[in-house]
């Protein structure tokens, strides 16, 4: 059997592109998504191989079915996209909160709903959460909530869709992503000191763990932290 299709929703960010490149290099047909078709196509070109860019906006869940209509024979689905919502409860921004909640909890689920009938029997789904679910910080009100939601969403999906496997990955701050690479040195030094390994995890660390969760045939309903031992300190 030929290699199946890999779909990376949020395939224009560095974590998404790195995972997409891993599978494109192995000969899979890979779809990468962005809200913007031009950005998706540019990312697909950068990734190379048989990689195709398509436009999907998770904040408009009713439009997701049409956006994914050309995708079939899915072997791996990775849901990576994020809307960054820095939201403190004393200064609550409802519109920003709705965007992130819709994107991760409704948009991700709608992607699964649309694609599950086009998945191979041994297919797998990986949802990106994050350590903010366990380690809140001022402003993480919505991201802590949705990443907590991701950690339980995978359980119901894994039961309903079996034998399709469904897992979640929860990175701590990924040091070489744009969100963190540009932070002041003292912020990064403080974060490193709070890990058992004395370093921040990397995009490569996250992709390595993502591939394990997507491919290991005995793993479903698992929330895997990739945090350099942050939870032990
Ligand atoms: N970076 C970290 O340190 C870190 C730590 C823990 C967890 N994570 C998790 O890893 C994942 C990626 O994070 P990141 O920091 O790499 O993200 P990022 O750089 O902020 O990129 C966000 C991605 O989401 C897409 N996106 C934004 N709004 C969207 C929408 N409404 N519909 C569809 N796609 C949308 C963006 O595509 P366009 O802008 O092209 O539309 C882009 O591909 C997230 O799930 C995050 O929770 C990251």
- Percent helix, percent strand, percent coil in the chain, to nearest 5: 50, 20, 35
- Residue minimizing CA distance to atom 8 of ligand 1: 130
Ligand 1 environment, Cβ below 6 A: 10, 12-16, 34-36, 39, 56-59, 80-84, 103, 128, 130, 171, 173-174, 177-180
Q: Label residue 137 by pLDDT band (50, 70, 90).
A: very high
What average pLDDT score do residues 124-140 get?
A: 97
DSSP string, 92-114: --HHHHHHHHIIIIIIHHHHHHH
Is the separation of the CB atoms in 104 and 150 below 8 Å?
yes
What is the arithmetic mean of pLDDT over 166-171?
A: 98
Q: Please, which pLDDT band fits residue 2 given cuts at 50, 70 and 90?
A: confident
Strand-pair partners of 223: 168
Above 80 in pLDDT, residue 1? no
pLDDT at 197 over 90: yes
Q: Which residues contact 62 (CB under 8 A, 6 or more apart)?
A: none
- The fraction of the chain above a pLDDT of 90, given in percent, is 98
Measure 81 CA to ligand 1 centroid, in angstroms: 4
* Ligand 1 atom nearest residue 143's Cα: 47
Torsional class of 49: left (φ above 0), alpha (ψ -120 to 50), beta (otherwise): left
CA–CA gap between residue 187 and residue 98 (Å, rounded): 29
pLDDT at 233: 82
Listed residue (4, 2, 1) closest to 118, CA to CA: 4
Q: Which domains does the chain have, with CATH numbers?
A: 5-232 (3.40.50.720)
Average pLDDT in the 190-214 region?
98
Q: Quickly state the pLDDT bin for 219 (edges 50, 70, 90).
A: very high
Ligand 1, atom nearest to 40 Cα: 40
pLDDT of 128 higher than 70: yes
Mutational pocket test of ligand 1: of 82, 107, 146, 154, the residue with most ligand atoms within 8 Å of the beta carbon? 82
Q: How far is the CA of 34 from the centre of ligand 1 (A)?
A: 10
Q: For residue 221, is it left (φ>0), alpha (ψ between -120 and 50) or beta?
A: left
On the question of pLDDT at 151 being above 80, the answer is yes
Give the pairing of strands 223-226 and 165-171: parallel
């Amino acid at each position: 059997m030929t290699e199946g299709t890999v779909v990376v929703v949020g395939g224009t960010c560095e974590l998404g592109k790195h995972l997409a490149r891993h599978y494109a290099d192995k000969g899979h047909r890979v779809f990468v998504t962005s809200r913007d078709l031009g950005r998706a196509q540019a990312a697909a070109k950068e990734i190379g191989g048989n990689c195709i860019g398509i436009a999907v906006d998770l904040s408009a869940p009713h439009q997701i079915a049409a956006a994914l209509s050309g995708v079939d024979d899915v072997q791996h689905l990775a849901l990576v996209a994020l809307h960054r919502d820095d939201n403190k409860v004393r200064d609550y921004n409802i519109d920003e909160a709705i965007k992130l909640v819709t994107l991760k909890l409704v948009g991700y689920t709608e992607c699964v709903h649309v694609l599950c009938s086009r998945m191979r029997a041994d297919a797998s789904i990986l949802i990106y959460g994050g350590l903010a679910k366990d380690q809140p910080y001022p402003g993480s009100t919505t991201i802590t909530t949705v990443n907590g939601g991701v950690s339980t969403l995978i359980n119901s999906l894994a039961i309903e869709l079996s034998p399709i496997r469904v897992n979640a990955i929860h990175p701590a701050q990924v040091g070489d992503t744009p969100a963190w690479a540009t932070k002041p040195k003292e912020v990064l030094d403080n974060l490193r000191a709070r890990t058992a390994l004395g370093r921040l995890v990397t995009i490569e660390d996250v992709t390595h763990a993502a591939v394990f969760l997507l491919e290991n045939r005995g793993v479903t309903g698992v929330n895997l932290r990739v945090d350099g031992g942050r939870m032990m300190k």
